[in-house]
Chain A
Amino acid sequence: MNFNVYLPFHKKTKKGEEPPKPTRLGRAARAIFPSTFFSDPVTGKKGLVRRVLQNIGTTWHSSPWRRVVQAGFFLAFLAFFCWVCWPYGGTNYAQHRESKEKVAAETFLILDPLVSLSTAIASRSWVWSLTAAGILLAVCIFIPRGFCGYVCPLGTVIDLFDWAIGKRVNRFKLKDETRGWWVNLKYYLLLACLVAGLCGVLLTGFVAAIPVITRAMLFIVSPLQMGTARGFYQIPAWNWGHAVSLVLFAGVLGLGLFRRRFWCQYVCPSGAVFSLGNLFRVTERKVESSCISCNKCVEICPFDAIKTDYHTRTSDCTLCQSCGGVCPTHSIKFVSRWDFSNLKKEEAPADATPSRRGFLAATFAGAATALSVQRLFGASVSDTAPKELPIRPPGSVPEQEFLEKCIRCGECFQACPNNVLQPMGFKQGLEGLWTPEVNANWAGCESGCNNCGQVCPTGAIRALPMEEKRVARMGLAFVDQQTCLPIAGREACQMCVDECHAAGYHAIEFARVHVKVDEQGQPIPDSGFLAPVVLADKCVGCGLCQTRCNLINVKAKHLLKETAIRVEAGPGREDRMSRGSYVELRFQEKKKREAAQPKADADSYLPDFLKDK
């Protein structure tokens, strides 16, 4: 079994020596491409491919496949992220919207095993993305920690940062051989996250790789994308939550000033899951006895995965194979774990394993953070002040479970047309940070869209089919009986009613108010105003009514200080279910309502006393 995919170090054949036989792949390539592409082993002249790769950089030259795969995954990540964003025009609106539903923007999030693992632990329930994470971990038995080297978009961004900035700033650099207490930080962080999860608080969103990069994209790239494509006025206001997320991201990148991919090697808890998975690896990097101890492999290794005796730190090696390509004696191979032929002897002492003290501290820290977050900075789940309760996306599970399941990745904000969903700041304490909240003053929930549930990687927002989403209640609209323009007798206004009808909910109807009566006590037609009345059994709390009231009456005309129709959440106003059908719920409610009404005979059109006539 041989897993070598690197580009071997180019050597000139010595006199009398047979030139190395090209591999089957090599022979096929030579048959297709012109000979100038390939190096000549006899003269030692480098081919075009090698020269080009060398000009790009050493890592491209030594292990081009890895870089190509990495770039491919990164482009896929970018494409998913930007494409899921709302359409920028076009006449075929409905089709455009439907096409967005199929964009698998959550792909990378479900691949991050820590995302599904920690949400499953915190909410004590099955999370659908565990399947994807399980499959990935199984693949990684063959490519140990391959996710980190080949797939992870955060890793790629860190690589880019290290290349553009990290390598130019040397004042903070650690010496190559320095390995402090922090080398096992990722395991402690992983343990702390899981312990906090056990205590019912989900901290993983702060540190897990894919949520960190997704949020960074959301807060940096997305506003630029939106702003340039559709105008900067379309970008919602920022809050302190954005700042915290960006500082965190800057910190992740900034670690690169100490050492290349410092975050990935020592800190990333998602990486720690893969490192633990490496215990079950079937392949690994091995060094043959032909090694001349030139140290080139140690210099190129981005993961500090090569010990001083050139053997492998198997828990850290991502099989990027850069070392293989720079080895002048072709002594490095990527083979079965149980292949022991021609090996160089191990000389360096084994690395210190993570300490018991560290694990104890991590356990304690996880629990303490969880408890303090709950007690001191926790979200208020109870129904004390409905105005303060956040309005969650349609199909959100019950609030406590929601807080345990929402990984705070922000993918739902990106998928949400017009940014109805916005990241919460510290309104609900630390526990509510970055969770999605409906800002109905900014925009209303599009009646034909169910994207947020489709992209949610953990099931905090259920992936509802359209017919279910349309009846899932997020809240209930209330008309302010003091300020509403027609009710206050100020002027005619029916924007909320029009919006509701246009969206197809028909949940606001008219009532004529301030009717004038003539001398006979008869109402004067057209007198007074038509005022909105919300039908509680039809309102789903989409907030389209509030948006319009805010944009026109509050913002454009300055008639009101606050919207006169507002969506409020809370028990009885929203459906928060972990399972079950909303359509069925509505049906049962309707049956109950009809049962409560006085019975009308089926053939009561003509009452008995008329039938005789």
Chain B
Amino acid sequence: MRTIAAALFLFVGLGVASGQAAKVPPPPKPKTKAEVLAMIKKVGATPPDWFAATPLNFPKTLDLTWSKPPPGSPWDPNKKVGQFIWTSINENEARWKEGIKFLHHMLTVNKDKPDIVKQVMGALGNMYHDLHQDWARAAFWKQMAGETDTLELAHCYFKLGSKDMAVDILTRYGADTTRFAQVCRLWAEVGDPAKGLKLAEQMAASIPDAGNLAAGDICKTMGKFPEAMGYYQKVLDAKSGSRDLPQNQKRAQGSLDALKVADGLDLKKVPDGKYTANSIGYTGPVDVEVTVAAGKITDVRVTQHHEKQYYSSITETCAAIIQKQGAKGVDATSGATITSEAIINATVKALPKK
């Protein structure tokens, strides 16, 4: 479970950051070690305010003893607790609170089995950390599970206000040998991106996909977009690497595309003319024609579509693109978001990149 959770924490964390050129969140208010530990103890022992109102909801077929599945056994989220959490809880935000309730139920059911209790506590820590970003409770349950120097715990300490405690753990790691380059990323997050980048580059020498991806992500949060794009390109060029190569390349491609949309358009270099492209809307392709004259978008027109509920999205979105001179910062019209987004996407596709 630990690796699963570790991976999730990165994906959830980065998922938030990867959409746009991310804003770096303000650093947490500094606190002393004693303050942080006291807070963990105090908050961790109390339930979140939604706890009592959350229903207990899990498949009746589930094997609550959480026995380790034998290798090679089929994937069965209706029976195996770990797979249930992975398949159903993690993937559905609406179930995250139920997940906590369920794990607490697991604690009571298995109270006489110390090893399972420990496993459940670890899972609780991960769930509070990855899904709820409830740092105090995450740290509480991780400590209860007996963790002392995991990266997630370091992350919690940093978020709770003690950079020193986080750095203390981080320095014990030295080079990054983790699957998702958590060490590099965490260095960058606690305020030393240069160190994170250095470690990532070291890592890239042996594992090009994971190392370069981390380096790209770090550059992106620092606002160094051209460098970030370079690293992402390296991920895409990698012929071999970690076993997560396909996933990492997919993510690199996604980030690269997002950066290109945000940063890649220089209208002054676009020759005059009409550019067309289409994108899938609500009921099928929406064809868009963009007219550029003297480095300006002079007209955006939807030439063909079969949308049903488009209301005013067509005129409004086109007008907004002309007004903003690009797709950046154009909001989708409410009530016809999909049509609006299709027009925005088609506009981006139509204009030639540098």
- A residues engaging B (CB < 8 A)? 87, 89-91, 93, 231, 233-234, 417-418, 443, 502, 506, 509-513, 515, 517-518, 520-527, 530, 533, 548, 551-552, 555-556, 594, 597-610
Contacts and interface: CB of A to CB of B under 8 A. Distances in A.
A555 B104 contact: no
B95 interface: yes
B55 A594 contact: yes
A609 B3 CA distance: 28
Contact of B108 (A91, A518, A607): A607
A525 B11 contact: yes
A231 B304 CA distance: 11
B67 interface: no
B227 to A, nearest CB: 25
A509 B91 contact: yes
A523 B86 contact: yes
A600 B247 contact: no
Given A526-B247, A548-B282, A597-B56, A93 B91 contact: no
Interface in B288-316: 306, 308-309, 311-312, 316
Contacts of A443: 308
B263 interface: no
B77 interface: yes
6 contacts: A91-B316, A231-B306, A502-B337, A511-B91, A523-B86, A607-B108
Given A418-B309, A509-B88, A515-B75, A604 B55 contact: no
Contacts of A418: 308-309
B24 interface: no
Interface stretch (B44-52, B166-174, B209-217, B230-238): B44-52
B324 interface: no
B163 interface: no
Interface of B: 3-4, 7-8, 11, 45-47, 51-52, 55-57, 69, 71, 75, 77, 83, 86-88, 90-92, 94-95, 101, 104-105, 107-108, 111, 144, 243-244, 247, 250-251, 280, 282-285, 306, 308-309, 311-312, 316, 333-335, 337
Contacts of A515: 75, 83, 86-87
A605 to B, nearest CB: 4
A608 B104 CA distance: 12
Contacts of A89: 311-312
Given A93-B334, A509-B94, A600-B101, 18 more contacts: A91-B316, A234-B308, A418-B308, A443-B308, A502-B337, A511-B77, A511-B91, A515-B75, A515-B83, A517-B75, A525-B247, A526-B251, A530-B91, A551-B282, A604-B105, A604-B108, A605-B104, A609-B111
B23 to A, nearest CB: 25
Contact of B4 (A509, A525, A607): A525
Nearest to B88: A511
A339 B71 CA distance: 103
Given A418-B308, A525-B7, A511 B111 contact: no
B247 A524 contact: yes
A592 B105 CA distance: 20
B57 to A, nearest CB: 6
B77 A551 contact: no
Contacts, number: 112
Contacts of A233: 306
Given A525-B7, A551-B282, A551-B283, A605 B46 contact: yes
Nearest to A512: B87
Given A90-B312, A509-B91, A556-B280, A518 B243 contact: yes
A223 to B, nearest CB: 15
Contacts of A502: 337
B302 to A, nearest CB: 12
A523 B179 CA distance: 13
A488 to B, nearest CB: 16
Nearest to A533: B88
A526 B11 contact: yes
Between A233, A234, A605, the greatest number of chain B beta carbons within 10 A of the residue's beta carbon is seen for A605
B55 A597 contact: yes
B59 to A, nearest CB: 11
Nearest to B8: A525
A251 to B, nearest CB: 35
A551 B55 CA distance: 37
Contacts of A526: 11, 244, 247, 250-251
B189 to A, nearest CB: 19
A523 B91 contact: no
A521 B71 contact: yes
Given A506-B94, A607-B108, A91 B312 contact: yes
Contact of B95 (A509, A604, A606): A509
B104 A511 contact: no
A173 to B, nearest CB: 48
Contacts of B56: 597-600
A607 B107 CA distance: 7
Nearest to B108: A607
Contacts of A606: 45
Nearest to B68: A521
A599 B56 CA distance: 8
A603 B52 CA distance: 8
Nearest to B243: A518
A276 B312 CA distance: 53
A511 B87 contact: yes
Contacts of B306: 231, 233
A598 B11 CA distance: 33
A609 B113 CA distance: 11
A548 B308 CA distance: 11
A525 B244 contact: yes
Nearest to A511: B87
A94 to B, nearest CB: 8
A530 B101 CA distance: 24
A417 B45 CA distance: 53
A552 B280 contact: yes
A552 B284 CA distance: 6
Contacts of A607: 104, 107-108, 111
Q: Lowest 6 CB-CB distances: which A-B pairs, in order? A: A605-B47, A556-B284, A525-B7, A510-B91, A526-B247, A551-B283
Contacts of B250: 526
B279 to A, nearest CB: 11
A288 B83 CA distance: 96
Contacts of B144: 610
B105 A600 contact: yes
A509 B92 CA distance: 6
A506 B94 CA distance: 9
B95 A600 contact: no
B244 A524 contact: yes
B104 A600 contact: yes
Given A597-B57, A605-B47, A512 B91 contact: yes
A605 B244 CA distance: 37
B80 to A, nearest CB: 11
A41 B101 CA distance: 95
A607 B121 CA distance: 12
B285 A556 contact: yes
A510 B75 contact: no
Contacts of B57: 597
Contact of B52 (A510, A548, A602): A602
A551 B284 contact: yes
Contacts of B69: 521
Contacts of A604: 104-105, 108
A89 B314 CA distance: 10
- Which of B88, B92, B251 counts the most chain A CB atoms within 10 A? B92
A599 to B, nearest CB: 8
A441 B115 CA distance: 52
Contacts of A522: 3-4
B108 A601 contact: yes
Given A509-B95, A594-B55, A524 B309 contact: no
A597 B62 CA distance: 13
A417 B311 CA distance: 12
Contacts of B309: 417-418
Contacts of B7: 525
